[in-house]
Chain A
Amino acid sequence: MSLEITAEQEALRETSRRFLSEATPLSRVREVMATDTVFDTELWTRMATELGALGLAVPEELGGAGLGYPEVSYLAEEAGRALAPGALLATAGLAVPALMAGNERARARLLPRIVDGAAVGAVAWLDPGADWSSTSPPTRAARDGHGWTLTGDTSPVLDGAVADVLLVLAEHPQGPTVFSVEPDQAGVTRTPLPGLDQTRGLARVELDGAAAEPVSAPGAGRAMVTTALDHANVVLASEMVGGAQACLDMSVEYAKEREQFGRPIGAFQAVKHKCAEVLVEVEGARSMTRYAAWCASHNTAELPTASAIAKATAAEAYFRAAAENVQIHGGIGFTWEHDAHLYFKRAKTSQMLFGDTGAYRRHVADLIGI
């Protein structure tokens, strides 16, 4: 499989776009973002069953479609365009690749539930208040008879309040290890966190002797989180490309119809050049993201660098597109009523998620050995 977009991928993109615009128009997004958990259960089930959204990159023997990250990327691009609320990034971006790198037992037990939409996945690795670059596990694992328990607090956890499969990094005698925790048990407290971006669900998760099962090999937890992030950044970059494209489309449409000084504002170079610059950035981000998605399925040696670059590049493109979109819309773009702010907030918070652009640049510098 090469980089070109196949007819099947094109069809997947079209189907996803049509499905999402019907199932979760921005009016619906606004309803969902007024809830604590920012989660639309019906949408989630339909995405899993009608689009097969969560099993695209999961092998067929585990219930998935056996495709790859290019397919996940095209779907995520459409989800980003629609600002679709839900746990696609947390589940398909973080939890699925983490489980794919995990032990066979955890994979067989958890992946089929995720693929058929019965379970939302989330990955938790941050100490509350710590920087994204922090490497100290937020919880401690302890032996409890035959099994393990975890204790400690972790925050922010993407879609942690709605997750049915919590994958948590914990200190273990042999080094940091990822465990799975079923959230419906005594010893697990979850608190939704109100987000600056109201279209994404964040939560604080507190564990107090919660029963847990190892997912990674002992001591391999940090590597598992890194692998998950390499893939999540492909999914996040794809969402950002879709969001950026939505902003550019809005800007161009408005610049064609809004008239001032007797002509459409899009006839003025000050406005049309902004739009052209955004297109250049979005096109570059899309190319880089597409390549990173290809690496996720075909060239894993280059994946860490490619996905880090895609993440930082798409973040810059998205923020630029979203900020210029507010500016091009003028006063109306600054109102709560207009949708421009939803994208603007999603753009900045996505740029900050998992580490800001400077952090990712330093990461790239490390990866290429300078």
Chain B
Amino acid sequence: MTADTVSSPIPYSDAALEFRREIRDWLARNAPEDLRGVRAVPRMPSPELKPHLDRWASTLAEAGLMCVAWPREYGGRGLSGVEVAIMNEEFDRAGVPRLTRGMGESLVGPAIITHATEEQKQRLLPPIISGEHDYCQGFSEPGAGSDLAGLRTRGVVDGTELVINGQKVWTSGYYKANMLFCLVRTDPEAPPHKGISYVLLPIERDGRSNGVEFRPITRINGAALFAETFLTDARAPLDNVIGGLNQGWRVAMTTLGSERGGSATTQHVAFERQFWRLVEKVRERGLLGDVRVREQLAWAYSRIQVIRANGLGLTAELAAGRSGGGLANGSTSKIRWSEFQRAMTEMAMDLLGPDALVTGPDYQLDEWQEEFLVTRSHTIWGGTAEVQRNIVAERALGLPKEPRPAKGVTS
């Protein structure tokens, strides 16, 4: 598929085509040779790779290619979903990673832009773009996972500050973050959804600990990429509460609502590459003549094409100026890709046979072992597969809500 032929499945505007040319030209001049072929960035980059990535991130920030979906007045480029999709396609085409500012860009920024005061926007958005503020998330708690509104971490106003005590869990990227965006209960008397505040908490203040302690949790693949977070008299300025005291639930919902982006036309690309790597492995094992194996592989390829077609259709609707995708598209897409990945990696393990039983030293996993294990988390984070089904059933199909007994929230 080429973008500028008349038979494109997406009705690109002239402006969108011009934008594609602009990005393509810019990448032709600026794509770093040292990152050529690094399309996906490892969750924890090696010490050798990291400086290259940092340099590329700065180049992107200076060129105005970070936080591109944010409005221009706040340092973004105001790109539409279609343009973000174009950007992703062009970076992929150039073979270099499209770096972002992670959760600061995708979650915190949109929450600030939608709910914060002008002063907060001016103060808190630029450091996300520059990379000065690196955020990790403090939403889930040991007792509040899918039922997030049951969270118990307390925030008490003390003068111009909020004093926070409690425990968070599954804090991804804690090891590089210097800010925690978290939900705390500031009114224990109010109903669960109404007494919560959304606050941006510095992990250190003036070079000293701010009562935030991370205890790494080792995941099922052996890596410690997330942590338990203990908050002991941690202090945040009240000025860092977004959307007002006790108004945090709707701010958090904006955040969750923006946890997806313009990846609709590129999501399948990584799956397709993975698929063809699997085909090669299966070919090496001499199994491609087996009818059962061929059917399994064709099943996986077909599911990837469904994901692609869905993304193309959604982007076509967006490009035509409609919202597209129906009421619960985020949830249906997530169910589709996360459950596909689980099934595909389970299948890959079967197809790789005895070799897949053995790891390297120190539990060093190959691509398939790693993916087989890590993909289990995709149907848990960001709303479990079961919660996504509830969302689809209630919002898109209008089925009655689950009975939700009132829950005590005082600690």
Contacts and interface: CB of A to CB of B under 8 A. Distances in A.
A305 to B, nearest CB: 8
9 contacts: A2-B320, A4-B319, A284-B307, A291-B312, A298-B7, A309-B306, A358-B295, A361-B302, A370-B298
Interface string A110-122: 0000000000000
Contacts of B400: 256, 263-264, 266-267
A287 B337 CA distance: 14
Contacts of B307: 284
A79 B344 CA distance: 35
B399 A272 contact: yes
Contact of B309 (A276, A277, A291): A291
Given A2-B11, A287-B310, A275 B393 contact: yes
Interface majority SS (helix, strand, loop, mixed), chain B:
helix
A309 B310 CA distance: 13
Interface in A355-369: 358, 361-365, 368
B298 A364 contact: yes
B390 A306 contact: no
Nearest to B302: A309
Interface residues of A, number: 44
Contact of B316 (A4, A276, A284, A309): A4
Contacts of B295: 358, 361-362, 365
A370 B294 contact: yes
B403 interface: yes
Interface string B273-314: 000000100010000100100110111011001111110110
Contacts of B313: 3, 287, 290-291
Nearest to A312: B302
A256 to B, nearest CB: 7
A269 interface: yes
B386 A273 contact: yes
Interface string A339-366: 0000000000000000000100111110
B10 interface: yes
A47 interface: no
Given A2-B10, A364-B301, A279 B397 contact: yes
Interface in A115-161: none
B302 A313 contact: yes
A201 B291 CA distance: 33
A276 to B, nearest CB: 4
**4 residue pairs, one from A and one from B, having the closest CB atoms:** A3-B316, A272-B393, A291-B309, A2-B11
Contacts of A294: 9
Contacts of B390: 269, 272-273, 276
Contacts of A269: 386, 389-390, 402
Interface in B85-126: none
A255 interface: yes
Contacts of B288: 370
A313 B302 CA distance: 8
B305 A370 contact: no
